[in-house]
A = this chain, B = another copy of it.
Amino acid sequence: MKIAVLGTGEVGRRLATKLASLGHEVTMGSRTADNAAAAAWAEENDAAHGTFADAAGVADLVVNATSGQVSLAALEAAGADNLSGKILVDVSNALDFSGGFPPKVGLPDGGSVAEQLQRAFPETRVVKTLNTMSNSVMVEPSRVPGHHTVFLSGDDERAKAEVSALLESFGWTPAQITDLGDLSSARATESFVELWLRLYGVLGPVDFNISVVTPAV
C-alpha cells in the first residue's frame, strides 16, 4: 500500500520504518521539502519524502504522527483534496512540555485531536489508535509479555477494520485490539495519556502497556 507518514519525530520514524519493512511504499511528510530528518530517513530506508502535501497526495492511507498541538496545521498543509476519502490513522497526542515533565495533555475544544481533525476534514476517515503506548511497543507488541491492549476509535467501521488489519501486520492479535466505538472515544485514550506519563515517571523507559482484564480473558 502507498502510505504517507506525516511527522519526522521518533514516532513517525518508528512507524515509517516498520511500514517500509513490511513492504509498503512509504513517503515521509514534513513541513518543508528539505527536512533533514525526513531526508536521512528516506535515504536509509530507500523510501521517499516530501512536504505534507507531497506525501498525502500520493498515498492511499495517511498516518498522522505529528504532535497533536500542530496536527491541524499539518493536515491543513497536506490539503483536504489530498486527504479526501482516505483513512487517516491518528496516533497523536497534544503534549505541552513548556512546563517540564509531565507535560500537560491538551484536549482541543473539550474533545480530542482526532475529533478536531475529523471535523476539519469530513471526507477523511479518521481512526485513532496506538496513542496509548511508547512507539517501540506500537510496532512490536511482543516487547510486552502476555495480554495487553491497543484501542481503536472511529466513526467508519470499514476504516477501523482496515486499520485493525494493519495493526495485525505489526503483530497485534485480534484479542488485543479493543474497539472503543465512535471517534468521540478518542478523548478517552487521549486523556489516558495522563496516566501513561505518570507510569513512565514511575517505571522509567521500560516497555510497558496496559491490559484490559476481564473474567473472559
A132 to chain B, nearest CB (A): 8
Contact A198 B213 (CB under 8 A): no
A133 to chain B, nearest CB (A): 10
A202-217 CB contact bits vs B (8 Å, 1 = yes)? Answer: 1100111111111111
Contact A213 B180 (CB under 8 A): no
Is there a chain B Cβ closer than 8 Å to A179's Cβ?
yes
Known contacts A207-B215, A211-B211; A192/B194 CB under 8 A: yes
Contact A212 B201 (CB under 8 A): no
* Closest B residue, CB atoms, query A132: B195
Contact A146 B181 (CB under 8 A): no
Contact B180 A199 (CB under 8 A): yes
* Chain B residues with CB below 8 A from A203, complex form: 212, 214
Is there a chain B Cβ closer than 8 Å to A188's Cβ?
yes
Contact B144 A213 (CB under 8 A): yes
Residue of B146, B191, B215 near A213 (CB, 8 A) is B146
Contact A208 B212 (CB under 8 A): yes
Contact B192 A195 (CB under 8 A): yes
Contact B188 A195 (CB under 8 A): yes
* Chain B residues with CB below 8 A from A217, complex form: 145-146
Residue of B178, B191, B213 near A209 (CB, 8 A) is B213
* Chain B residues with CB below 8 A from A188, complex form: 194-195, 197-198
Partner-B contacts on A (CB < 8 A): 105, 143-148, 151, 178-181, 185, 187-189, 191-192, 194-195, 197-199, 201-203, 206-217
17 contacts between A and B (CB under 8 A): A105-B191, A144-B214, A146-B217, A148-B211, A180-B198, A180-B199, A180-B201, A180-B202, A181-B202, A185-B198, A188-B194, A191-B192, A199-B212, A203-B214, A207-B214, A210-B210, A211-B211
